[in-house]
Structure 1
Amino acid sequence: MEHTMNDSLTRALDLTHALESAVSQQDWARASAIVEERSPLLMSLCPDQTPEALDKIRSIQRIDAGISARARSGMDRLSERHGDALQRIKSVSMYHTTGML
């Protein structure tokens, strides 16, 4: 059982590296597919882990923290661009409304 758990954890770590790569390339479809594959592996972990397994889990957590920070930053930039675009639309609308007076 421990060997199977270690294989699952190794696979989860490999998928985490793949997820990090997908996010850095902004390949959200691939990232989503990786998360779907990885989630059951992580959910199947039991509380008692070997020191080697705990190292892998900590690596996954560190990488996930970086992924989350990168995703938040991307969302912030996207929101900012969206706000800028809405402001430009509002300005053009105001220009056209003023021009018709």
Structure 2
Amino acid sequence: NIGKPSYGGFAVKKVTGVYPMFSKGGGYIPGAHGYYVTPTGAEQLISKAKKYGASPCDLYLNNKMFPDIKEIWPQVVEARDEFTTIQNERGCGAKHSYQKDRKNFRILS
């Protein structure tokens, strides 16, 4: 993972580096943005999706299914959340950029 979490609380590190997944509890990747995959990793993603089924990437990409997954600190990618096509208002409320006046965030239906 190279992407800064865009929702809820998250852990940080004091020293720049590459670490086992740390930012979100449970070892899940923090969102559907900001990650890169090696060719070997891509093969593992496809193989495990065929075996276990796929799910949303921020749940599927985790350190239990993929024990070698890593995360960098500080993250170098940040999501600019200005709209969503999949989240309801409650989910949007957890986004760091969500503003109740909705000038900067729209829920598309």
TM class, shorter-length = under 0.3
Between structure 1 and structure 2, the one with the greater Rg is 1
Higher relative contact order (CA 8 A, sep 6+): 2
More helix by share: 1
More strand by share: 2
Q: TM-score, normalised by structure 1?
A: 0.22
